[in-house]
Amino acid sequence: MSEPVALKLTAKDFKSDQEVRWCPGCGDYAILAAVQQFMPELNIPRERTVFVSGIGCSSRFPYYMNTYGMHSIHGRAPAIATGLSVSRPDLSVWVVTGDGDALSIGGNHLIHALRRNVNLKILLFNNRIYGLTKGQYSPTSEVGKITKSTPAGSADAPFNPLSLALGAEASFVGRTIDSDRKHLQSVLRAAAEHQGSAFVEIYQNCNIFNDGAFDQLKEPATRDDFLIRLEHGQPITFGKDGQFCVVHPPGGFGLEVRETASVRPEEIVVHNATVTDPAYAFALSRLPGLDLRNTPIGVFRSVDRPSYDSVVQDQVAAAKAAVTETPEQQLAGLLASGDTWTIR
């Protein structure tokens, strides 16, 4: 194969002529800018890139990208994108969704897209609130959340989106934060390179209905002690001075956070995103507490398994390979298959 021609695209090429209409200060602006700046790196022509979204604030995203795009209906973007991706393996298909869209009304499509390993890059903007409908609690809101629809506090436990995706055996799972452009783009890069479903949770601030939801992960005073920056092949340590680390608890299972000084260096877990058993990444996804302490970001899991698209297309290609007739001849043969008789 010859080297692909450099397209020399810039962020500007990915900006559509539509006025961006999110609330001033919304985290979505930062994500949009980061994506537009990142897309040229992929060297994929704009016409072969498609953004499909559902309903919600984040789902306005396709209108602002100068690529092909569809703003569909609530929760169904993964299903629609699956049909597109399977039938058009030449396209780069991205799904933009939110916590309500992906995990509430569209939960079924999300887990099945991940289970099938459809070649989709799914960006879930998680702001832990319903924004477009003006502030009801979402399936990622903390228990006891007081909102318009839950004046006495929400009674139901939230989903952990990454745990859910890993339970569906997603082949790529990552997390990043709207305000950290460099990190966001690094996770997008890894997601784009992945063959199969890539699921990326992006913590996104809704400054109107759930302002400051992720402040501990952003404030210079707290972030280093709260965030675990996962690096493949590196021991998992964090904190301003690397004072914390992640270990396998002796005699237990899963992962726990310890003070680095209290463990032997070889006890510190070396991050390996390619571990086949999703239990490891699942254990990572369980580390954060309610106060967001010990929140890992980065690529939790990236394993190879055949994408649904490729298996389906391989079956079609194999069936077609044996064909020597024209489609019309094939059709005439098919119509006349089975027991036929002739009247003269």
Residues forming the site for other proteins (CB under 8 A): 16, 18, 45-48, 50, 52, 55, 62-63, 65-73, 76, 79-88, 90-91, 108-109, 112, 312, 315-316, 318-320, 322-323, 327-328, 330-332, 334-344
Q: Which C-beta is closer to other proteins: that of 2 or that of 342?
A: 342
Q: Which C-beta is closer to other proteins: that of 3 or that of 328?
A: 328
CA distance linking residue 126 with residue 205, whole number of Å: 8
Instruction: Starting at the earlier edge strand, list the strands of the sheet with 256-259.
Output: 237-238, 244-247, 256-259
For residue 295 the two structure tokens come to 């929140």
User: Tokens 């590196």 — which residue?
Assistant: 234
- Minimum CB separation from other proteins for residue 225, in Å? 41
- Minimum CB separation from other proteins for residue 254, in Å? 30
- Minimum CB separation from other proteins for residue 55, in Å? 8
List phi, psi (to 5°) of 156. Answer: -105, 150
Going by their DSSP bridges, the two strands 295-302 and 256-259 should be labelled as unpaired
Q: Coil, strand, or helix at residue 121?
A: strand
Q: Which C-beta is closer to other proteins: that of 261 or that of 335?
A: 335
Q: Coil, strand, or helix at residue 84?
A: helix
Work out the number of other CB atoms within 10 angstroms of the CB of residue 128. 23
- Minimum CB separation from other proteins for residue 112, in Å? 4
**DSSP-assigned beta bridge partners for residue 301:** 173
Answer yes or no: are the C-beta atoms of 139 and 100 closer than 8 Å: yes
Q: Which C-beta is closer to other proteins: that of 88 or that of 148?
A: 88
- Minimum CB separation from other proteins for residue 93, in Å? 9
Q: Which C-beta is closer to other proteins: that of 75 or that of 296?
A: 75
- Minimum CB separation from other proteins for residue 48, in Å? 6
- Minimum CB separation from other proteins for residue 314, in Å? 10
Answer yes or no: are the C-beta atoms of 268 and 260 closer than 8 Å: yes
Q: Which C-beta is closer to other proteins: that of 21 or that of 305?
A: 21
Q: Is the Cα torsion angle 291, 297, 300, 302 positive or negative in sign?
A: positive
Q: Which C-beta is closer to other proteins: that of 4 or that of 265?
A: 4
Burial classification of residue 252, based on how many CB atoms lie within 10 Å of its CB (0-12 exposed, 13-18 middle, 19 or more buried): exposed
List phi, psi (to 5°) of 247. Answer: -135, 160
